[in-house]
């Protein structure tokens, strides 16, 4: 500890840059790696598959894309497992990850989670080859499940830390800047990964990106702290400023008020928003590379080109999210609108906007007229509007329950992650191997439109922006610090569901 404090003093971090912004920058870079390592395989897998060797009856349509063949003879079902099984692990550790951040501190939990993901990323090439070139990639699927398990803690963890680092008048901006690292990571995961794969081969993507994460991990360990009060180099003025702008939080972690949470209407508004958002967001993230490759295969003839046009919408989302957050914080800081009203407005933009863009694609894009420019434009505009979500439901747990922000986001993310593997599965069943048929994709988009529109209405009606009564329980029995058996059984139950699902899919598809 003494060495750590001395190191910080020797480094003399810039006095002009507040410590909370250093925390924000480090967390942002962490989330860049979070999403880069999560989704790089979504693109790289097209370079891993031997399209020529695939049976013609597979009808995967990639033989006509002019892509370089990889070593593995995997059909669309197997590649779907490699990409989608991540979420089977992802849903398991959301709740305990958020709770561990509240009890043990977010710095340690995030470091352990990202260190695990980086290590597993380095193992991907070996795991893929261990399964053979023609067999089911059991080892790789297990690696992906474990990566999801590790990454599950990251969003609840950072939400818990933000509840203690971000004053209300800066909450949306800090939250957005950090979580917009997801979009930056998507850009790296799609575009940069495509360039690396084209230049040095698909294995190099995982070695370079996984290895680079350890550099960030060292900086996080050296310069981050769980709270302003535990940071060794923060000034008294900044610590007081942060404390004055925070709602009441306990220095000691409180037991979770389960009944109050489950009967809270604003909690359910966040829950449904998370489910709907993940349906739309992850559906586009997993299916967009395939959609562009199959519908516009004459143009999308290389990994870097497909990666570029898959990344552009998320670059737009990154830029728009910063603009939305600055606007939302300005409206709250100047007391122009209440916190609840601001959250509802920006949540509406983030979900109704993409729904309308998909509606344009449904109406005007056909097999006879694929409308590439219109399609790319609508995807870019729709995903850009999703940038408002960080000023909407994602930040809302910090508003209604700062003592349990990590738990609330972890719980809603746990259930909300289910669409991460259900939505692609539904899309695959609708497409049914005919991925170049725009009429079938239209049905996928219509389902997404309905889900996003219904969610928009429910959030407007039921969301809130003030701390709930259960955020600071007064019942002394609640504060006794009993072992949380509900959390333990909940986690075990979700884990069993995940294991059964993964085992069943592996057995059916192998």
Residue 322 to residue 389: CA distance in whole angstroms: 11
Q: Cβ of 52: how many Cβ atoms within 10 Å?
A: 10
Query: What HEC string does 202-232 produce?
Result: HHHHHHHHHHHHHHHHHHHHHHCCCCHHHCC
Helix (H, G, I), strand (E, B) or coil at 72: strand
Burial 235-252 (b: 16+ CB within 10 A, else e): eeeebebbeeebbebeee
HSE-CB for 82 with a 13 A CA cutoff? 27
The predicted pLDDT at position 508 comes to 82
Pair 43, 186: CB distance under 8 Å:
no
Q: In the chain, which stretches have pLDDT less than 50?
A: 1-14, 56-66, 476-481
Which DSSP string do the residues of 38-59 spell out, in sequence order?
A: HHHHHHHHHHHB-TTTS-GGG-
The predicted pLDDT at position 105 comes to 84
| Biggest CA pair distance of the chain | 70
Pair 391, 324: CB distance under 8 Å:
yes
Which DSSP string do the residues of 358-410 spell out, in sequence order?
A: HHHHHHH--SS---HHHHHHHHHHHHHHGGGGGGTTTTHHHHH-GGGHHHHHH
Could you give the angle at the alpha carbon of 367 between the alpha carbons of 351 and 435, nearest 5°?
A: 70
Q: Token pair of 6, please?
A: 């001395």
Alpha helices of 2-153 — where are they, by DSSP H?
Answer: 2-11, 19-48, 76-84, 86-90, 94-104, 106-130, 138-151
Residues 147-164 pLDDT 10s:
999 998 898 888 888 888
The values of phi and psi at residue 433, to 5°, are 80, 0
């Amino acid at each position: 500890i003494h060495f750590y404090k001395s190191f910080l003093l020797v480094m003399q971090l810039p006095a002009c840059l507040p410590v909370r912004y250093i925390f924000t920058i480090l967390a942002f870079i962490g989330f860049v790696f979070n999403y880069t390592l999560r989704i790089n395989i979504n693109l790289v897998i097209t370079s891993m598959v031997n399209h020529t060797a695939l049976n013609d009856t597979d009808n995967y349509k990639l033989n006509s894309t002019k892509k370089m063949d990889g070593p593995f003879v995997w059909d669309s079902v197997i590649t779907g497992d490699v990409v989608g099984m991540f979420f089977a692990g992802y849903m398991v550790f959301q709740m305990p990850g958020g709770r561990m951040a509240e009890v043990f501190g977010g710095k340690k939990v995030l470091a352990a989670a990202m260190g695990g993901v980086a290590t597993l990323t380095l193992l991907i090439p070996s795991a893929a080859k261990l399964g053979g070139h023609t067999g089911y990639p059991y080892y790789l699927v297990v690696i992906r499940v474990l990566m999801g398990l590790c990454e599950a803690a990251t969003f609840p963890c950072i939400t818990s830390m933000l509840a203690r680092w971000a004053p209300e008048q800066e909450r949306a901006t800090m939250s957005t800047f950090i979580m917009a690292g997801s979009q930056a990571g998507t850009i790296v995961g799609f575009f940069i990964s495509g360039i690396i794969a084209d230049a040095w081969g698909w294995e190099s993507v995982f070695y370079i990106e996984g290895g680079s994460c350890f550099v960030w991990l060292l900086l996080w360990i050296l310069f981050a702290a769980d709270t302003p009060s535990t940071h060794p180099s923060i000034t008294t003025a900044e610590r007081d400023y942060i404390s004055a702008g925070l709602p009441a939080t306990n220095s000691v972690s409180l037991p979770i008020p389960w009944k109050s949470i489950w009967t809270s209407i604003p909690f359910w508004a966040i829950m449904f928003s998370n489910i709907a958002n993940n349906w739309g967001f992850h559906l586009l993230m997993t299916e967009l590379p395939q959609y562009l490759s199959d519908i516009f295969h004459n143009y999308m003839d290389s990994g870097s080109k497909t990666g570029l046009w898959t990344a552009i919408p998320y670059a737009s989302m990154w830029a728009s999210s910063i603009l939305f957050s600055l606007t939302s914080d300005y409206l709250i800081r100047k007391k122009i609108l209440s916190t609840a009203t601001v959250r509802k407005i920006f949540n509406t933009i983030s979900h109704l906007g993409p729904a309308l863009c998909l509606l344009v694609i449904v109406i005007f894009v056909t097999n006879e007229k694929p409308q590439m420019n219109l399609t790319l434009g609508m995807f870019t505009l729709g995903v850009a509007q999703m940038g408002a979500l960080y000023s909407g439901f994602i930040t809302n747990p910090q508003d209604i329950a700062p003592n349990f922000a990590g738990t609330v986001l972890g719980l809603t993310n746990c259930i909300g992650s289910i669409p991460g593997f259900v939505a692609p599965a539904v899309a695959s069943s609708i497409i049914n191997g005919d991925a170049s048929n725009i009429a079938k994709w239209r049905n996928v988009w219509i389902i997404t439109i309905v889900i996003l529109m219904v969610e928009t209405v429910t959030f407007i009606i039921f969301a809130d922006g003030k701390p709930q009564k259960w955020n600071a329980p007064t019942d002394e029995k609640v504060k006794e610090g009993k072992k949380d058996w509900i959390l333990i059984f909940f986690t075990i139950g979700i884990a069993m569901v995940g294991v059964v699902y993964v085992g069943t899919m592996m057995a059916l598809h192998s």
